[in-house]
Amino acid sequence: MIEEEEPLTEAAVRVVTEVWGLSGRAERLRGGEESAAYRLGEYVVRIGPAGHDPAQAEWCHAIAAHAARAVPEAVAPLPTPAGATLVRVGDRSVSVWPYVAGSAADEPTAAELVGGARLLARLHRALAGLRPPVRPRPAFQETGLYGEPPADAPELADPELDRWLAAFHVAHPRRHPLHGDYHTGNVLFRHGTPVAVLDWDEVFTGAPEVELAAAAAEWADYEPGPAKEFAAAYHEAGGTAGELDDETTAQLVRHKIRRECAYFRKAVSRGDTHDDDALAYHHDRLALFHELRP
């Protein structure tokens, strides 16, 4: 994964001190493809993606704050004295979050897989009744989700998938906010128990089945057996998504793969380079998109 190299500038440090009253030595944390995070004692200073709309970030932060009131593992930003959750510094936003000690389950154990599924179910229940205003601009995952052919992934054009997605959403009208990026890197564990859900940048309102299918596949490393175990644990914990048959799972996962492909193209277009592992992963996902076609 490409990590954003945005430094914690003097201007950002000054804002963090003046607005949130924090100071001290900052330690760069892992992760972040378009953003960067630094630990500052018991807090994390996050430097947001360049050029992103602050209204969009505030919208996502409000969803995280709502989730955190019911789900302690949901990490939400600290408000400023004025009630905002970020301050603009140049073309980036600066926000402050609680620091939670833990490790991402890059290769989750059976217990971590079940724990991640149950946590997702609790998040969905917590967000099920929330009716936020329309997101200031669509999330990246929403492109093509409702059947419109996505122009940013031409090599994966698939009119049959487009028609299937349109029909699926007619038949599944339930919508509520979703985390939007519920993969193993955004959940921290301690001793096999999930303790934090991070990175709420991709929140959007959608059918919960969309997130369940994508999360089950990713947490199971695209293996059908563990993916079904993830979905079963989610449903046992009372998640809001309906049951997923094999075709529904495959088609929703194919949508997610198509968005990953589009993101890869976006990264290349802005000048990012990818190592051999990242290129191999990309080509594997392209092949899987075709293999999963029902």
What number does CATH give the domain 110-292? Answer: 3.90.1200.10
DSSP symbol at 169: H
The pLDDT of residue 219 is 97
> Between these two residues, 48 and 239, which has the higher pLDDT value?
239
Between CA 258 and CA 261 the distance in angstroms is 5
The pLDDT of residue 8 is 86
- Single-letter code of the amino acid located at 79: P
DSSP symbol at 132: P
Give residue-wise pLDDT tens across range 244-280: 999 999 999 999 999 999 999 998 888 888 888 889 9
- Strand segments (E) across 198-282: 204-206
Q: Is 70 helix (H, G, I), strand (E, B) or coil?
A: helix
- Average pLDDT in the 187-200 region? 97
Between CA 116 and CA 189 the distance in angstroms is 9
Q: Is 47 helix (H, G, I), strand (E, B) or coil?
A: strand
The pLDDT of residue 68 is 98
What percentage of the chain exceeds 90 in pLDDT?
87
- Average pLDDT in the 166-189 region? 97
pTM of the model: 0.94
Give residue-wise pLDDT tens across range 95-150: 999 999 999 998 999 999 999 999 999 999 999 999 999 999 999 999 999 999 99
Query: Over 50: is that where the pLDDT of 3 sits?
Result: no
CA nearest to 95, candidates 37, 32, 135:
37
* Secondary structure in 3-state letters for 174-204: CCEEECCCCCHHHEEEECCEEEEECCCCCCE
Each domain of the chain, given as residue ranges in start order, spans 10-98, 110-292
- Average pLDDT in the 153-175 region? 97
Between CA 233 and CA 227 the distance in angstroms is 10
Pick the CATH number of 10-98 from 3.30.360.10, 3.30.9.10, 3.30.200.20, 1.10.3720.10: 3.30.200.20
The pLDDT of residue 6 is 59
CB-CB contact of 261 with 153 (8 Å) = yes
What percentage of the chain exceeds 70 in pLDDT?
97
The pLDDT of residue 51 is 82
Query: Over 80: is that where the pLDDT of 181 sits?
Result: yes
Give residue-wise pLDDT tens across range 11-44: 999 999 999 999 999 999 976 667 899 999 999 9
Give residue-wise pLDDT tens across range 53-96: 999 999 999 999 999 999 999 999 999 999 999 999 999 999 99
Confidence of residue 4 (pLDDT cuts 50, 70, 90): very low
- Average pLDDT in the 160-170 region? 98
The pLDDT of residue 1 is 37
Between CA 47 and CA 199 the distance in angstroms is 12
The pLDDT of residue 197 is 98
